[in-house]
Amino acid sequence: MKTALKLASFLGLSLTVVPAFLVFAGTITWTTHATLMALGAVLWFVTAPFWMPHDAPV
Amino acid sequence: MASTPPASITERLDAINEFDREPVSEDALQGPGNFIGLYAGEHVAGTEFVIGPLFVAHGVAAGDLFLGLLVGNLLAVLSWAFICAPIATRTRLNLYWKLRKIAGPNLLFVYNLVNAAMFCFLAGSMISVAATAVGIPFDMTMPGLDDFYPNSVGWVVTVLLVGSVVTVLAILGFEKIAYFSKIAAPWMFLVFVACGVAVLPQLGVTSLGDFWTVANEKIWTGEPLSGRIRFTFWHVMFFAWFANMAMHIGMADMTILRYAKKWHYGFASAFGMYLGHYIAWVASGILVALALQNASEVAPGPIAYLGAGVAGLVAVLLAGWTTANPTIYRAGLAMQTITPNWKRWKMTLAVGMITTMAALFPALMMRLLDFVALYGLLLMPMGAVIFADFWLLPKLGLRQDYAEWKQLLFSLPAALAWLLTLGACLLLNLVWDVEIFFLGLPGWFIATGLYVALSVAQQRRVPVPQSSTPTTDFLSEEIT
């Protein structure tokens, strides 16, 4: 389960940054990039709290 | 009901910091990964949305920016690694307890007050940053680069709203928000990268080969905006070096690095510097160049929206909020020494209100470079005092931690070194027109020299036994 959540989080981060490079390459439009980034943000914040460690030693 | 007699300033300060009184124990030491994560998270923050654009406003040239950031950030990393970390890993004490031993509790009280005031203003600028994101859906008039006072009713209402929410959340739970901040950090860094890359085609960059030409002609043009001085390589280098002056040569990060197993974990600060203070500053500079080209608004919210749409707005809001929250908390801790009978929530509320009032003035955000330089400069001399006390005094046969040994409430050498250094810096600024960004370096040497000379004068009057504090050769061995 934790592996699946980590994969989803990784996908969220990928959706945050990869579309920008696709806009730069002319592959997708800016609007599509903005939509995918919003989706990436939701995916990251929904999944990351379930596996990122809570301890803040310093 | 009998009332408790008021505690002395010393007792109040000590009560707040009681938990940290002892040196960190062996089993609490941390590996390098913690420090890499901590520095990377802490230095990709709300301020980055403001600092990058301000470099553009100051007309820095592209070559000066890239080289200045490279060298300045390297010097910052070296300051953490060679000045702050070795003392932190040898003493295992936080700044509070180390300074208390050297300067005495009463001088530490004054230092805490100055620190708290600076924290309030810093948090205020972060609330301003967050407000620029919240105001967009409501078509709020954004503050301009030269605005000093609140420029619209909408701005006032938005700042009051954001400030209230941030304060209430700070009261409800600092730890939960600190954890949320940790989660947001990697995502936020990628938002900066994505924003910068996605808008490059709109500036005319369609291949990597175009970048340098466009960077020079449209982004970092070498031409400052009206009313701004032109920044050179030296401005960028010194700003990057001293943006966190209070933390490295000011020694505030002893509080963090005392947990490091080895002194060289200070090099972990490179992750914060080169991700946050290099890539994020470059990215936000690109964004503001597009805003200027489009003659649109240049506040953090609007420029992030240009780069990433709604995700950009969320990033600005979170960046401002997650930075303001711990800052309000720290200011509350420092302020609690004044009103010891107040509950923590009441103190946080008071600090939040002061911070929100400060945030109403957009100048705090739009003049952030000057404020950050001033903040570091005010606190830096006490870092130099710690450095001199730890390394130089034993070499001269003088006692370290003299105030503690002599049970002084107030160390005159430390107080005079602090005040006279600030006076000398003011003189350099007023008489010789040395800009505030360049004052940290001479200031550090002045503070070190003054503290040593005044300590010699103080301790030679009455011979004292040699210090019993163990000190080793520089970087050779650690007391763990």
State pLDDT tens for residues B36-59.
988 988 898 888 999 999 999 999
Q: Which residue of B has its CA nearest to A9?
A: B187
% of chain B residues with pLDDT over 70:
90
B110 within domain boundaries: yes
CA B166 to chain centre: 19
Long-range contacts of B420-423 (CB under 8 A, 24+ apart): B420/B446, B420/B450, B421/B381, B421/B384, B421/B446, B421/B447, B421/B450, B422/B377, B422/B378, B422/B381
Query: Average pLDDT for residues B318-343, to the nearest whole number?
Result: 77
For residue A33, count other CB atoms closer than 10 A to its CB.
26
Q: Which residues, including other chains, have CB under 8 Å from residue B332's CB and lie 6 or more apart?
A: B170, B344, B347, B348, B350, B351
Q: What is the pLDDT of residues B453-471, one digit of tens each?
A: 999 999 987 666 655 454 4
- Give A-chain residues touching B206 at CB under 8 angstroms: 26
CB distance B30–A57 less than 8 Å?
A: yes
Each domain of chain A, given as residue ranges in start order, spans 2-46
pLDDT tops 50 at residue B480: no
Indicate the pLDDT class of residue A53, thresholds 50, 70 and 90: confident
DSSP secondary structure, chain A, as one string: -HHHHHHHHHHHHHHHHHHHHHHHTTSS-HHHHHHHHHHHHHHHHHHGGGTS------
Cβ within 8 Å of B, A 3-32: 12-13, 16-17, 19-21, 23-24, 26, 30-31
Q: Say if A41 is an interface residue toward chain B (CB within 8 Å).
A: yes
In angstroms, how far is the first alpha carbon of chain B from the final one?
Answer: 48
Distance (Å) from the C-alpha of residue B472 to the closest C-alpha of chain A?
25
Q: What pLDDT does B3 receive? A: 44
Structure-block tokens of residue B89? 């890993």
Q: What pLDDT does B333 receive? A: 73
- Give B-chain residues touching A34 at CB under 8 angstroms: 308-311
Burial group, residue B10, by CB count within 10 angstroms (0-12, 13-18, 19+): middle
Query: Average pLDDT for residues B331-345, to the nearest whole number?
Result: 72
Q: What pLDDT does B18 receive? A: 54
- Give B-chain residues touching A45 at CB under 8 angstroms: 183-184, 187
pLDDT tops 90 at residue B34: no
User: Could you tell me the residue range of the domain that residue B279 belongs to?
Assistant: 26-377
Q: What pLDDT does A55 receive? A: 64
Query: Average pLDDT for residues A15-33, to the nearest whole number?
Result: 97
Query: Average pLDDT for residues B321-345, to the nearest whole number?
Result: 76
Mutate: best of B92, B189, B190, partner A, most A CBs <10 A: B190
Q: pTM for the whole thing?
A: 0.90
Tell me which residue in B175, B183, B198 faces A20 most closely, judged by beta carbons.
Answer: B198
pLDDT tops 80 at residue B11: no
Structure-block tokens of residue B242? 């001293």
Distance (Å) from the C-alpha of residue A58 to the closest C-alpha of chain B?
6
CATH of the domain at B215: 1.10.4160.10
Query: Average pLDDT for residues B424-451, to the nearest whole number?
Result: 97
Q: Let me know: does B72 contact B237? Beta carbons within 8 Å.
A: yes
Q: Say if A54 is an interface residue toward chain B (CB within 8 Å).
A: yes
Distance (Å) from the C-alpha of residue B427 to the closest C-alpha of chain A?
39
CB distance A13–B190 less than 8 Å?
A: yes
Q: What is the pLDDT of residues B131-176, one digit of tens each?
A: 999 999 998 999 988 889 999 999 999 999 999 999 988 888 667 7
Nearest alpha-carbon partner for A42 in B236, B355, B314 = B314
Q: Which residue has the higher pLDDT, B478 or B305?
A: B305
Mutate: best of A5, A6, A16, partner B, most B CBs <10 A: A16
Find the radius of gyration of the CA atoms of chain A: 14
Tell me which residue in B38, B182, B191 faces A16 most closely, judged by beta carbons.
Answer: B191
C-alpha triplet B313, B164, B117: angle, nearest 5°: 100
Inter-chain CB pairs, A–B, below 8 Å: 85
Distance (Å) from the C-alpha of residue B311 to the closest C-alpha of chain A?
5
Distance (Å) from the C-alpha of residue B92 to the closest C-alpha of chain A?
12
pLDDT tops 50 at residue B477: no
Burial group, residue B6, by CB count within 10 angstroms (0-12, 13-18, 19+): exposed
Q: Which residues, including other chains, have CB under 8 Å from residue B454's CB and lie 6 or more apart?
A: B412, B413, B416, B417
Q: Which residue has the higher pLDDT, B178 or A45?
A: A45
Q: Let me know: does B314 contact B305? Beta carbons within 8 Å.
A: no
Q: What pLDDT does B438 receive? A: 97
CA torsion B461→B463→B466→B468, rounded to 10°? -80
pLDDT tops 90 at residue B240: yes
Q: Let me know: does B336 contact B115? Beta carbons within 8 Å.
A: no
Q: Which residue of A has its CA nearest to B201?
A: A24
Structure-block tokens of residue B371? 């404020």
Q: What pLDDT does B463 receive? A: 63
Tell me which residue in B38, B183, B309 faces A37 most closely, judged by beta carbons.
Answer: B309
**Helix-helix angle B105-134:B9-16, to 10 degrees:** 50
pLDDT tops 90 at residue B475: no
Q: What is the pLDDT of residues B266-299, one digit of tens each?
A: 999 999 999 999 999 999 999 999 999 998 999 9
CA B383 to chain centre: 14
Q: What pLDDT does B173 receive? A: 67
Nearest alpha-carbon partner for B303 in B202, B375, B232, B213 = B202
Nearest alpha-carbon partner for B110 in B98, B120, B101, B100 = B100
In angstroms, how far is the first alpha carbon of chain A from the final one?
Answer: 29
Q: Which residue of B has its CA nearest to A49?
A: B183
Q: What is the pLDDT of residues B370-427, one digit of tens each?
A: 999 999 999 999 999 999 999 999 999 999 999 999 999 999 999 999 999 999 999 9
